Amino acid sequence: MHKRTIAVTFITLSSLSLASCRSIKPDQQAATHSESLARYRASSEAKESNQRRSIASSKEASIKQQSESIVAASESIEQAKQQSNQSTSAKKTLTADQQTSVNQAFLAWAAERATIGNMAVSDWYFDHGAAGFGDWFANSPDGRILVQPGTASPGFNAYPVHAIGGCVFYTALDGTVGKDNLDRGSFADNYSLNMAMDKPVSKYLLGDNGVVYELKLGNGHLTSTNDGFSELKDDGKQAYSEPLVFAVSEDTAAQAELKSLLANY
């Protein structure tokens, strides 16, 4: 009896299931399938749209960054041009006596600074032995600096900067601090008489554009009066050698001092 009841129940449930299936019409099944397909397509299109927006956003950010870099580079170039123009406009045309006065005043200031630093300073920053007829010059970020004009071309106006004078800081072997008479011996002795070349040596070159240039030497290397300078050949075009480059000095006090001295002329 129990088994018969189970069988009747199963047949009844199966009949209900089949009836339910028959109750869903073919057009309803098609509509359901179409809705599912539409939802899938909409989801795919949304994903593709998001991807396109992401790619476009990345490209836009990259283009913006490149544009900002170009603008920054242009501004940097413009600032450099302005600084160069300012240096050119600050040039002073001084007589020989005025150059001597500026150089002596700067040397007096340098002697005080050297004393504080327990160093010596001398105005014997440049000299040379036998030479030809060409100009003597130094190299700098602002171009060649005329230090001593010769009798051959190219002449004074060919140089963007001209030296007013200069000095050299060093540690004296005899313990002298402040101003020192470094050229007390013969030219052949040069700096060897009283300069400790195992210590820092700095040559300062004063430009008529109001800029102090500096060449760092010493520290174990032999140093002489013609270090940092070279001569043009008699044709006025080629140099016998290209000397080391004087950098714009980071000594802000020296820069201010030179500008202050030139302001008097």
pLDDT digits (tens, 9 = 90+) for 73-125: 455 445 544 444 444 446 778 999 999 999 999 999 999 999 999 999 999 99
Name the residue with higher pLDDT: 93 or 147: 147
The DSSP bridge pattern shows strands 120-122 and 178-179 to be parallel
pLDDT value at position 194? Answer: 96
pLDDT level of residue 131 (50, 70, 90 thresholds): confident
Name the residue with higher pLDDT: 183 or 246: 246
Tokens of 263: 């302001």
Check residue 175 and give left, alpha or beta (phi > 0: left; psi -120 to 50: alpha): left
Does pTM surpass 0.85? no
Nearest Cα residue to 128 out of 21, 52, 232: 232
pLDDT value at position 68? Answer: 66
pLDDT value at position 17? Answer: 44
Nearest Cα residue to 131 out of 180, 58, 187: 187
pLDDT value at position 229? Answer: 98
pLDDT value at position 96? Answer: 94
Q: At what angle do helices 96-116 and 252-262 cross, to 10 degrees?
A: 150
Per DSSP, helices labelled H in the chain are 2-23, 26-89, 96-116, 252-262
CA distance 214 to 205: 6
Tokens of 136: 């003597």
30-56 confidence digits (pLDDT tens): 555 566 555 656 566 666 666 667 666
Tokens of 61: 């950010």
